Chains A and B, each alone.
Chain A
């Protein structure tokens, strides 16, 4: 695997809030074209890491290179222009605007920066079909249900035409059918060439779609590998279920 295949490279990425170590000295790499899953107990620093990648939060120290270019310290809109898009755990739709308008903004100001509203809306229609929201195109976003809002959030990010897509718990609050739907969508998007980093708590889903998994705990990376390797990793199990459980398992073995 040559370096040209690494689309995102993080070295010593650290974010502290006073004495709190939200993310501590994390090295990571994301291979172009893969789906990298990020898991870890609550408060592990997953969202913080994502926020540092897309520029919402500055790094306390360390570096992040996207396609070889240093992006830590750049403003979020600059990073968006370079080709990174993200969804938020707590969705942030544009109130007072329709679904179509919301998603069009991604097309207008994302990596492709379409100049023409009509062009943007055409591209948007295509994306709305993908996420199955095309019949809601003229609905005000306040009137969408949870599943629709999550898909809207995803659609907005997709409309930006990103090379790297960051998904933050996009499945939270969805029922099993909806989760299946989104999983298929994510895989489809990935097949079309977009590299994806996913934070998820729904284990079955994330294990099912990720090529590789990275595990964070108390802000540090404690494991990395294929989904299979991770499920058997003792440190990971300990982090989620506690040391006593691990000891118990060892006892049973």
Chain B
């Protein structure tokens, strides 16, 4: 019925080209002279680790951000987007990873929210025309959409189809999919791929953002790989294999390691002798919870010895948060348990802490600290129930303040004193408070989650040093991090987490390709 929206450009002129794009945030260079182009009818994959600059680039193409330098060409003509609606008018649509639907409104009403302004008069809701247009697209794609259901009640796959309908208008020529499979079930993914292929066949250009290697190879023609804001690899899927992509994504060098490594990476490897009982023994599974965005954890099994740093690598959102919650006593696994020196602990953060498991949580401003409170009070959170700091129900604040002052000196926290509010500290010093609380009393085990996220180089070196020292004092350390460099710098052994499963436990000397493959879900035996 509907004619295919094809303003076919000659193959020589790309549909959209970004030339020499630079984006700076303060001193931080998020994109460093990036070239990127999409032709009509092609599926172009954009691959890269967390923080490689994928989202920044796409936000520039869809008008959310403005580039510091460089230009964008549409059909060979320079354009300038000052808002997302400019980009929409130019025919660029984006399907966001996190759906932007109002769950309490019906599908119709949600479509109306993003309806074109040109539809309907100034006083009328263009409901009819908006839904008609969406229905035509849905029919063409063979979708059965329950138009009058509440958006929040629909399965995730259907919600995503509504997002696609929102992004697709009559003249949309370029569609950006931001990690669209992250939220889908295994059966929904092939259906989405069929849709994406159909949309490309109709002459649209598709950008497919992912870090799953098999998906990229399945779907895309051309691949561009970003690493630390630079294009490091441009290829076609015919010309390369998963290994090549993995190597490009993860990189050979380790600038960070060179920069931060006061002591060279441990070659001693695992510090246990055979027969020694592990300090921490984990064997658990966790099912997904209905109605909540919770990842599944399947058969997570590993042992950590006293004096060992066990790294857990993987791309963000593959179950790290759920695993960290299970390891810190916040979440009860559906099956299995966490054993400390062979003893199963009651599932409660207080019990874990009292038995010597220290936590460095991922979100220091929310979970790590009570920001409106002082350093003394925040470090007291790790000791307020110890007998030496209380007499009956009374807390001995003078003793707790002395303890805080000692920790400020020991962990080099830059603050006006123990009474300084943690809100007034820099990010690095806030993290030092969290670490001081965790490592104050020689813990038996430490669970550290992204302990250096957002910190500058000096603070990162400090954190690494503190973790190494805790290990040398005999703690078993689980380091969950999405920064592969960090894990390779610190860990004695590394497990890779992919979709809630451990795809392999390997030494840190393993090749980057293998890590890339494991992180992309390509199982490697061993």
The finding on whether chains A and B are genuine partners in a shared complex, rather than unrelated, reads no
**B interface, CB within 8 angstroms of A:** none
